[in-house]
A and B are shown apart, each in its own frame.
Chain A
């Protein structure tokens, strides 16, 4: 079967640096903009590292987690979500979801990487972390588990992506499964980092670990829709019947997940209003300092507008989906910010009724914090635009001659090979381990 020997660059759908050179000037400008943003962010972040973060960051002793942690959480939540939603297809065999897998796993890795870029500028001694995380692990620390599991998650996702490119479905499926399990464990541990702080009633409890998982799935659906429809804008050829079906399926599941998060938010507000420890913070959401964040960004941009637009789009109006999910990404960013910052607003001594802590604490992100966050965002955006070109819209080479005995799988878009006397359907089932 000589036909099985396929040029590796074709098999990976890899277009090389030439694809970047051939991009339109406008596209190059966008890439240059994000590259510049990432470089500027890294430069400002390194400046902060040199002069000492406490001189340039807005975080204080009492509000010690600021914009950087919010941005980190935004990135890793989206990464986990991309993994969760895409696993419906290439791990659990939901056919409709299969075509999104390559882009989703690629972006999942990039979001994770972007998250690590941001946390690098938040951790005061990132180099010590690499040493002491291994030499002196604290197994009861959620922070330790979160860091370690996310490290393992990134490794699994990279291996999975390799096998996706290689079209080795059984191994990519195994790695995807391990990545999913480890990713969910890591992500719920991130929720538990907050949920297990006794002294912080706004965070404490099982709510956040659970919320984080559902919220991640929602972010993942949103991100897949946004990046797929934006990819369609860049290269309309990526859209075909399979991809249209996939977008429709992801739209449906995203609508469902937004509804779940609305439900979560309603009960967070209602239970918080009758809780002594949460009341002040909840009231600052409803009518205080955080009311614009909450009502405009979190509720309107993050939930109601996308819910309305996604239902209106019926899953096939890609322009509408792109706008809905693009705005939703901004709303989701504020959702993360509204978890991290308000949880620290009430000083631990507020309930003691002392003069010093009578008012809620305030926090404003500094220029250095904003730029260090944009470093990670710039890296992710650059990786996306480069990936769309170099990896040919995450599709397989369509114009190549399908090798002898092979065919393009209707499920995943990959080239499959039929055994002797096998139908296409049987071959597809064999490749995807569906019995």
Chain B
């Protein structure tokens, strides 16, 4: 196959006058489309973390699958590893010594100017597509149809421990006392079902690292923390695509305080320029 030879040096300049307005418009449109795709991609990449973090689907969803859709936002840098949450959980839910429903992981850094260590509280993520619920042969573990809490029906548990391995968050252990696998139920049995508003761990947290609430309520702190663009929100192990309901963010940021105080444009208030 031969390609036609084009000698650019001898090409005549046609000038811009010969380009019609329609052609011009089409060209601009094409450019905008290309730019728009990139811009859109950029925006998506900014928001996509929240998209995957979100309880359902991509982007800011209007409707969550559960109501109240219980969820927890962990403001990671506020955690001081005092373990009051772990103790409160143990006392409230009668956890044996060899088990835990929540724990705090330590991540160490070197060469950082502000801090050397970060603490990451972990617990059951109450995933919307929970691998443990799929894996259980007898439906002993299930998504609560109202609240979305992943709960246990202990009498059905045969103790095959498949759920413990299916869980990508190590949130389960076998409790010899219950003769069943035990896990976090957002304190449903001990607190929420009795009218309390917070889980034991969230109530015990002295720094506000654990904030618990209802993701469907626009007035709720959890809703406000998740539904903003200013600060990054993420989930653990997003690649497993379990659609978890425990969200993580850094903690001591002014912008979040602004959101909570509804001062959305503090830094870029057009009236003050």
A positions within 8 Å CB-CB of B = 52-54, 61-62, 64-65, 122-126, 128-129, 132-133, 136-138, 140-144, 147, 193, 196-200, 344, 347-349, 351-357
Contact = CB atoms under 8 A, between A and B. Distances in A.
Contacts of A126: 158
Contacts of A143: 135-137, 160, 162
A321 to B, nearest CB: 38
Contacts of A53: 176
B165 to A, nearest CB: 6
Interface of B: 98-99, 105-108, 120, 122, 131, 134-140, 155-162, 164-170, 172-174, 176, 179-180, 236-237, 240-242
Nearest to B106: A355
Contact of B167 (A132, A199, A355): A199
A138 B164 contact: no
Contacts of B139: 132, 136-138
12 contacts: A124-B174, A126-B158, A128-B138, A128-B155, A129-B137, A133-B137, A136-B156, A137-B137, A198-B242, A199-B167, A199-B168, A357-B105
Contacts, number: 130
Contacts of A133: 137-138, 158
Contacts of B180: 125
Nearest to A130: B158
A353 B60 CA distance: 30
Contacts of A65: 161, 165
Given A132-B156, A143-B160, A348-B237, A200 B165 contact: yes
A197 B165 contact: yes
Contacts of A132: 138-140, 156, 158
Nearest to A134: B138
A389 B52 CA distance: 64
B162 A193 contact: yes
A138 B153 CA distance: 14
Contacts of B161: 64-65, 124
Contacts of B136: 138, 141, 143
A348 B120 contact: no
Given A61-B99, A197-B131, A141 B137 contact: yes
Contacts of A348: 167-170, 237
Contact of B179 (A125, A136, A353): A125
A138 B174 contact: no
B168 A124 contact: no
Given A138-B136, A141-B136, 5 more contacts: A65-B161, A124-B159, A196-B134, A348-B168, A355-B105
Cβ-closest 8 pairs across A and B: A124-B159, A199-B168, A144-B137, A132-B138, A354-B105, A143-B137, A129-B158, A198-B240
A198 B169 CA distance: 11
B170 A355 contact: no
A200 to B, nearest CB: 7
